[in-house]
Each structure stands twice: as C-alpha cells, then as structure tokens.
C-alpha cells in the first residue's frame, strides 16, 4: 500500500527502532512491515536460544557461538553486540544490496547496534527510540512474558532503566501510548525520510532535464 | 484532525515550502493548512499590489515601501527579499510566539527567504522544495494565470529555470506529479519532524520520571 514513494531515483535507508525491553518496539516493527511494501526486516544472526513461536530465518538466523565468531572475523557483520549474555549481529550483504536498489531495511536492534551502524553508515541511517508511556505499564509488559523467570524480569527492569539513557543518540523519540498511533508515527517518519534530498540521488539529473526542456519551450 | 502530536512537551517548527513559480506550492500550502490543525500560515508583509481575490491580513499584509523600510530598520522582520521587483518579509513576533507554544508555522517563501531564516533560526527550520513534474506542465501552469501578460510569463519561465538550482539547499525535495500525493508527502514530513528528539524538549524530564518510578516498582 505504499504509493508515496519518490518519482526520482533514490537510495534506500536503514530504519533503526530501539527501545528498552518491554516498550513495544517489536510489535511496532511487525505492524510497520505489514503496512509498507518497500520495507524489509534485517534478519539478525543470534546465539540466543530460539523462543517458542520463533522461526529460524524469519525472526533470527539462530547460529552457535563458533559460527558467530567466524562471521565477525571475516567482516561479514555490519554490527554485532552482546545483549543479556547472547550475541546478535547484522549480515552485511543483504543490507548493501537493498540500499543500492532503493529498498528500505528495518533494524530491530539495541543502542549498541545502532552506534556501530552510525559509525559505518551514518548517511543511510534513520533512528527512532521508543519509550514506554509509564513505569507501571513497562513493568506490566515485562511481567506478561510468561516464559521469563522473576529473576530475569527484575534484571530486565533494571536494564530497561539504564537503556533509556540512550534516547539522546536517536534522531526521533516516540512515546508508545497507543500502538496504532505509534505505528502511524514511525510510518510518517519512514515516508518523510524517503524524500530527503540527500537520498534522492536522481534529483540533479531531473532538474537539469527540466531546465533543458524549458529552454526549448521559451 | 491532527491526532499524531507528541505527548511530550515540544518546540514548534518552521516549515518552509519553496518552488519555482508555477510548481504548485501555494495550492499545496493551502491544502496542508486545511488538513492540520496545529499548522498556521506565516502571513508575510509585501509591497506588491493586491491581486483579485486576495485578502489583506490573510494572504499578505499589503504595505507601502516606506512602511516596509521602517520595519526592516527596526529589526521587526525575520527575513525579507526582493522578488519580481516587490518586497516581501516575515514579521518576527508572530513566529517566536508560535514556536514557544508548540505551534508550527508554514512559510510560503522563496529561496532567498529560506536562506535568511536558516542563518537566524536553523534549528527550528524544515525546508521542502517542490519541483514541477515536467517543463511542459510548468509552462502550462504559468500560462493559465490569466492576469499575467505574455511578457511576464516569459520572464517567469526564465526565472523558474534559475530558481530550480536552489533545490540543493533544502532538506526535502518533492516532485509535484499528483496534488493529493504531494500534500500527503509534505504532511508526512511535518508529522515526522514533530518527533525529532531535538524538538521534544520534554523528553529529558520524561525519562528521568520513568527511571525514578521504575526504582519504586523494583
């Protein structure tokens, strides 16, 4: 349903969504992917165990630590990070190919991942930080993940509080009060960023053609 | 109908629309004002004669050259420019008051005006350059303004060609192929820019409150 794309040749962008655990970023990411045909999820590799309902190759590529270390050594990861004692990383090739063909990539990664992307690919990066509407709501969401133990939940709450400090590195900040509103907000950001002059690499040729054609009409 | 505004305290922004004559920016500006409750038009002062259908105080404040020069000397204009032998300028006070109270201001001005705003108020500025879909369509639109003479039209076509070079100074570029699409695109830009971290001056306090509340819940 995306019919707002540019008529000019453009370069794809990397849309990073981050948030403290439990603020709702993964739900927002999934809704956004349903809503926009030109946005694809960057599927990370991870060494963390697969959770019930997760699909290998769709949610993550689940790999072991040895394979992960091989990929890091070979420079095949655009970013990688250690989160809750597990490794996560972004394969480089799928991203490069998408951006060159005007495809936009969505990254559901944490602030460590965003920082590495920013060091390597700042010009293509658009980053959005999602905040929970209140501490009580965040606590409720963290507790409702049935598969986590009380100890894990307590650790996550402390970590969520720390993670919030990272909002300052992000281009946009959204408070996730209402899921549908948050999805529309992030989608507006995606649509707007596509029209940034710097991404529309075809604009110079387009203007020169207009000017040349105007000469013949005068 | 704007229900996507931030829940955080934020600073207003200055949305500048510019285009070569005839590319459709004034029509886009009017549609945008109808669509968004929180956007108001910055009404410029001008020394150019009032056209049929224009209303003093709504389309422009029509003033004489002596009054214009007094305002410039008193520093009451945020920007001013000479366009087609007439002066145009933006009164400073209405803008400052709007931005401080989270109101967004729309500027239907040319590249000279944008440049002066950028020198003084870069942080609050969001600029969009509108291009016509083709030279033939631009020529058609310039000719359909019945009140302009053939000589004026020829001069405008030459000037439009020159003005197009200024796209490079703008944050966003939109090719106005379809009016409704262009309005939606500019509206997405407006909605997105409201969520820029730098505009949401309340985010720091909000995060500190979240963190403090989380401590009591742990």
Give the tens place of pLDDT for each residue, A100-134. Answer: 999 999 998 889 889 999 998 899 999 999 999 99
Residue B179 belongs to some domain of the structure: yes
Q: What is the pLDDT of residues B104-163, one digit of tens each?
A: 999 988 898 899 999 988 999 999 999 999 999 998 888 876 567 778 888 888 989 999
pLDDT at B189: 98
Q: Which H, E and C letters describe chain B, residue by residue? A: CCCCCCCCCCCCCEEEEECCCCCCHHHHHHHHHHHCCCEEECCCEECCCCCCCCCECCCEEECCHHHHHHHHHCCCEEEEEEECCEEEEEEHHHHHHHHHCCCEEEEECCHHHHHHHHHHHHHHEEEEEEECCCHHHHHHHHHCCCCCCHHHHHHHHHHHHHHHHHHHHCCEEEECCCHHHHHHHHHHHHHHHCCEHHHCCCHHHHHHHHHHHHHHHC
Look at residue B200 in the predicted model and tell me its pLDDT: 94
Does B150 contact chain A (CB < 8 Å)?
A: no
Per-residue pLDDT tens over the stretch B9-21? 999 999 999 999 8
Q: Do A195 and B215 touch (CB under 8 A)?
A: no
Residues of B in contact with A217 (CB under 8 A): 135-136, 139, 157
Look up the CATH number of the domain holding residue A53. 3.40.50.300
Residue A4 lies in a domain: no
Partner B contacted by A101 (CB < 8 A): no
Interface-testing mutation among A22, A23, A135, A180, with chain B (most B C-beta atoms within 10 A): A135
Query: Residue A1 — very low, low, confident or very high, per pLDDT cuts 50/70/90?
Result: very low
Q: What is the dihedral of CA A113, A118, A121, A127, to 10 degrees?
A: 80
Residue B2 resides in a domain: no
- Extract the tokens encoding A189: 């950001």
Q: Does B195 touch chain A (CB under 8 A)?
A: yes
Establish if B7 belongs to a structural domain: no
pTM of the complete model: 0.90
In-domain check, residue B9? no
Domain of residue A77 covers: 14-216
Q: Is A214's CB within 8 Å of B135's CB? A: yes
d(CA B38, CA A200): 29
- Sheet containing B45-46, strands listed edge to edge, beginning at the edge strand earlier in sequence: B61-62, B45-46, B86-91, B77-83
Chain A contacts of B167, Cβ < 8 Å? 197, 203, 207
In a domain, A9, yes or no: no
| Nearest CB to B171; choose among A134, A172, A196 | A196
Domain count, chain B: 1
Task: Nearest chain A residue to B184 by CA: give it.
Answer: A4
Q: How far apart are CA B201 and CA B185, in angstroms?
A: 26
- In the predicted model, is pLDDT for residue A4 greater than 70? no
Chain B touched by A205 (CB under 8 Å) = no
Reported as a single tens digit per residue, the pLDDT across B30-86 is: 999 999 999 999 999 999 999 999 999 988 999 999 999 999 999 999 999 888 789
At residue A73, the pLDDT reads: 95
Interchain CB contact of B178 with A (< 8 Å): no
Answer for the pair B21, B161: CB distance below 8 angstroms, yes or no.
no
pLDDT single digits (tens) A168-212: 999 999 999 999 999 999 999 999 999 999 999 999 999 999 999
Q: Chain B within 8 Å of A151 (Cβ-Cβ)? A: no
Among B150, B152, B207, most A C-beta atoms within 10 A, so best to mutate, is B207
Q: Would residue A8 count as lying in a domain? A: no
Chain B nearest-CA residue for A201: B173
> A36 to chain B, minimum CA–CA distance in Å?
14
In chain B, what residues touch A1 (CB-CB under 8 Å)? none
| pLDDT per position as a tens digit, A27-37 | 999 999 999 99
Hey, is the C-beta of B102 within 8 angstroms of any chain A C-beta? no
The reply to whether residue B207 touches residue A3, judged by beta carbons under 8 angstroms, is: no
Strands A45-46 and A61-62 turn out to be parallel
Q: Is residue A173 part of a domain?
A: yes
């Amino acid at each position: 349903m995306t019919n707002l794309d540019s008529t000019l040749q453009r370069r794809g962008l990397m849309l990073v969504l981050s948030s403290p655990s439990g603020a709702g970023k993964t739900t927002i990411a999934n809704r956004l992917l349903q809503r926009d045909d030109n946005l694809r999820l960057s599927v990370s590799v991870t060494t963390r165990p697969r959770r019930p309902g997760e699909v290998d190759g769709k949610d993550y590529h689940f790999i072991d630590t040895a394979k992960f270390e091989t990929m890091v050594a070979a420079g095949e990861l655009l970013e990688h990070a250690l989160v809750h004692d597990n490794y996560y990383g972004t394969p480089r090739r799928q991203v490069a190919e998408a951006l060159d063909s005007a495809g936009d990539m969505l990254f559901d990664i944490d602030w460590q991942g965003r920082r590495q992307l920013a060091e390597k690919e700042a010009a293509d990066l658009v980053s959005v930080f999602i905040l929970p509407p209140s501490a009580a709501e965040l606590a409720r969401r963290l507790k409702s993940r049935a598969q986590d133990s009380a100890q894990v939940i307590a650790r996550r709450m402390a970590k969520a509080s720390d993670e919030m400090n990272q909002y300052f590195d992000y281009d946009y900040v959204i408070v996730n009060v209402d899921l549908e509103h948050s999805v529309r907000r992030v989608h507006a950001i995606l649509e707007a960023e596509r029209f940034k002059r710097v991404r529309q690499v075809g604009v110079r040729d387009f203007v020169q053609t207009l000017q040349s054609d105007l000469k013949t009409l005068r």
